[in-house]
Amino acid sequence: MKSQNTGELPINNTLVNIYQHEHYFSPEECEHVVALSKTREGEAAKVLDRGTVAVDAMRDSQVRFVEATPESEWIFQKLYRAVMDANQGFHFHLAGLEPLQVEVDPIPDTVIPPL
C-alpha cells in the first residue's frame, strides 16, 4: 500500500514503550547513594514552566545533587549501563549523564522512590 503525505508526523512507537528495571540498586547501594547526597547542601526542588524555573507548590521537597566524582563513579557507571540498555528500544542520541538528583521528602531523611 502506498503511503500518502498528509503533513502529519509519523507515529514513533518507540516513544510509547516503557522500560523498567526493578531492584537495579541493592538496598545497601541505595543507602550509600543517600549517604553521599547528605554531604551536599539541599535546595528547594524546582520545576520548569515553559523554560522558566519556578518553585512548584506540588513539589514541596528538598533535593541534593551527587556529581560524578571518584567516590561516586560506580553509581554513574551503573546508571550509564542501565540507560544504554534501555536506549536499545528508544534509539535516542545520548551525550552523557547529568548529576544524580536525590529527592528528600519533607520528612527528614526519607527518600522518595522514582515513579
Q: Considering only residues 81 and 45, tell me which one the structure prediction assigns the higher pLDDT.
A: 81
Mean pLDDT, residues 66-88: 92
Dihedrals φ, ψ of 51, to 5°?
85, -5
Bridge pairing between strands 52-54 and 43-44: unpaired
Tell whether the torsion through CA atoms of 48, 49, 53 and 59 is positive or negative.
negative
C-beta of residue 29 within 8 angstroms of C-beta of residue 74 = no
Question: Considering the domain boundaries, does residue 15 fall inside one?
Answer: no
Instruction: Report pLDDT for 2.
Output: 47
Give the domain range for residue 31: 24-104
Greater confidence (92 vs 17) lies with: 92
Residue 7: inside a domain, yes or no?
no
Instruction: Establish if 18 belongs to a structural domain.
Output: no
Q: What percent of the chain has pLDDT over 70?
A: 73
* Residues of the chain above pLDDT 90, percent: 26
Alpha carbons 110 and 27: distance in angstroms, whole number = 14
Higher pLDDT, 52 or 2: 52
> For the chain, what is the domain count?
1
